[in-house]
Amino acid sequence: MTNWQELEAKYYMQVVRRTPLTLIRGRGVRVWDDKGREYLDFVGGWAVNSLGHCHPAVIQAVTEQVKTLIHTSNQFYTIPQVQLAELLVQHSCLDRVFLCNSGTEASEGAVKLARRYGKLHLSGAYEVITATNSFHGRTLAMVAATGQAKFQEPYTPLPVGFVNVAFNDIEAIKAATTPQTCAVMLEPLQGEGGVNIPSQGYLAAVRDWCHQKGLLLILDEIQTGLGRLGTLFAYQQHGIEPDIMTLAKGLASGIPIGAVLAKEAASVFAAGDHGSTFGGNPVACAAGYATFKYILENDVAGQVRMTGEHLMRGLQELKQKFPSVSDVRGRGLLTAIEFKSDIAAAVGAACFDGGLLVNVLKANAIRFMPPLIISTGEIDEALGILERALTSIPGQVADE
């Protein structure tokens, strides 16, 4: 057999700490490696595989599209792009859509839109307030927006125009607001930063502050949107509406795509102000339309509320059973388990040995992002593997 991991080490830039696993096939919530071993996938492509692996609706849409029209530039109209844009607007509080290729591109587009708005309506204001422990992408500007020193320090000096303040602290946002501020950009729930949930009323207070000061509120729903938290969008759980919203990850269930949505008043791009060669590609849009349509027609968000509660109950039971677990938190099917010591890597490795793929988020935390179509039976199977993994860690024996 070809040793694909050795070839990767020889040819690929070593920028990812990979699990020693070469995946070759997936179906639903399960994947198989090149040795034929089966795993439950609770990483889900980092919250991308919303309908699981190789969902029939996505396969059909992509297959039909690649046989019809694979790509043409945005110089021309294409039907899947318009269909997806219409569906997104009809089922959100926003009025306009720009389609791109990824979450970081969506974040870039949102910031460009906010800066354009600042130039037109706020006397040239250009600064965007973001939160510590946030994550908005990997481009140089989005590294500056991301409030985590570990991502920023290797690339200083960073682009100017971003002010990082404490998450879940409205007073910090107020103190950071100056005449140069054009927008506040927040994740409704910080995924990569630790599955950090804001207190009740925080986002509503931010919305009120932005309204008072004439600022745009950008919600980064790249990880939280499209049913992941048990509603189509996270903003619906807070009784607010953003001026701009970004989507990506789960929108096309594995095909690369991103989206910037905006209220009409915030949609200030003119012809030539923004663009993309591949953004809104017919194949990606066909996958996105099929994915979002399936989520809507099958009340996937409602299913996530049920399965998410089931997962949370199971994790809470493990917390009661294992003194090593310090916290369990999350919404819907975006959850994390935190430990009192740095055992996350050992627990993740034991889960892997047991046939469960998880995301080691930090030295003391693991994140779970399974496909939205997961069943309670599959969750129970995963919880059983996790329990055996916890039991196997020296010094972490379950309470009797």
Q: Give the DSSP letter string of 7-69.
A: HHHHHS-------S--EEEEEBTEEEETT--EEEESSHHHHT-TT-BT-HHHHHHHHHHHTT-
**Does 135 participate in catalysis according to the annotation?**
yes
- Residue 321 annotated to the active site: no
What's at 111, amino acid-wise? V
Q: How far apart are CA 84 and CA 293, in angstroms?
A: 9
Residue 377 is given by DSSP the state: H
Options 42, 98, 135, 167, the catalytic residue:
135
Q: Which two tokens stand for residue 243?
A: 């001026």
Are 33 and 23 in contact by the 8 Å Cβ rule? The answer is: yes
Spot the catalytic one: 162, 249, 339, 352. 249
Largest CA distance in the chain: 67
Q: β-strand 127-131 against 162-165: which pairing, if any? A: parallel
Q: How far apart are CA 54 and CA 200, in angstroms?
A: 37
Examine the residue annotation and report whether 292 is marked as an active-site residue of this protein: no
Query: Could you tell me the two tokens for 226?
Result: 């499209």
CA dihedral angle for residue 315, residue 320, residue 326, residue 331, rounded to 10 degrees: 30
Burial class (CB in 10 A: 0-12, 13-18, 19+), 20: exposed
Q: Which of 188, 186, 262 is nearest to 224 (CA)?
A: 188
Residues forming the active site:
135, 220, 249
